């Protein structure tokens, strides 16, 4: 169970705007936040991850308070057990695909898990390549697998599909769903949609 009610004044292109986000996520749910560019979707994710501090509000994940402005609680990103897939993938250029995943482990190396994740996203042949030599879709899969090595409670994906063409997009959607189910994740992903000025929430019925 994840509950979040946060507020932050952001300085956007058209002056200041106030972002107010209230969310309730049950364990195992996957929801998508829609909204046009500049609506504050990425800022919302960054606040959940602890990379940006909200002005007011609270974030509680599975009984642990991650942020509470009234009680002065603000856990560092390091202390929040979550996986984050960045819009620019943020793969470490000097490490191979496998080393990128191994770096993501929280306690010690878990070779079995790393190998399993590499197989899940079909990167077995590419595991010793550096990220620079991969295509956009391949990089996205590495980023996704890497985010799961730390066995996160919450998976956040920043526009994971927008930079990909239709065929690869649907393949990656399948990957996200498969991993979401297998790891029993709670997943929040954002996607831009030009028709919606404000952030909208869309829940997928994932229960089989």
Q: Which residues bind other proteins (CB under 8 A)?
A: 49, 51, 76-84, 86-88, 90, 92-94, 103-104, 106, 146, 149-150
Cβ at position 86, least distance to other proteins in Å: 4
**Residue 55: partners with Cβ closer than 8 Å, 6 or more residues away:** 7, 8, 9, 69
- Asked if residue 121 lies in contact with residue 145, where contact means CB atoms within 8 angstroms, the answer is yes
- Residue 67 CA to residue 59 CA, distance in Å, equals 5
Query: Measuring CA to CA, how many Å separate 122 from each of 55, 86, 93, 117, 176?
Result: 42, 20, 20, 8, 13
Beta strands of 75-164 (E only): which ranges? 82-85, 154-158
Quick one: 153 exposed, middle or buried, by C-beta within 10 A (0-12, 13-18, 19+)?
Answer: middle
* Spatial strand order in the sheet of 15-25: 15-25, 2-12, 56-61, 64-68, 73-74
């Amino acid at each position: 169970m994840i509950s979040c009610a946060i507020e932050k004044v952001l300085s956007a292109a058209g002056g200041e705007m106030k972002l107010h986000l209230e969310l309730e996520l049950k364990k195992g749910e996957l929801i998508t936040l829609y909204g046009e560019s500049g609506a504050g979707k990425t800022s919302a994710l960054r606040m959940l991850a602890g990379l940006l501090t909200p002005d007011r509000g609270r974030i509680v994940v599975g009984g642990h308070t991650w942020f509470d402005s009234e009680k002065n609680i603000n856990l560092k990103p390091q202390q929040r057990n979550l996986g984050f897939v960045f819009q620019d993938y943020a793969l470490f250029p000097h490490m191979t695909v496998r080393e990128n995943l191994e770096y993501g482990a929280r306690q010690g190396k878990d070779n079995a898990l790393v190998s399993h994740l590499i197989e899940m996203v079909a990167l077995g042949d590419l595991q010793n390549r550096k990220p620079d030599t991969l295509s956009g879709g391949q990089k996205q899969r590495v980023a996704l697998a890497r985010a799961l090595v730390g066995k996160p409670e919450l998976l956040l994906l920043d526009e994971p599909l927008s930079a990909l063409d239709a065929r690869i997009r649907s393949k990656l959607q399948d990957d996200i769903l498969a991993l979401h189910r297998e790891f029993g994740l709670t997943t929040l992903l954002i996607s831009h949609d030009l028709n919606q000025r404000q952030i909208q929430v869309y829940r997928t019925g994932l229960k089989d």
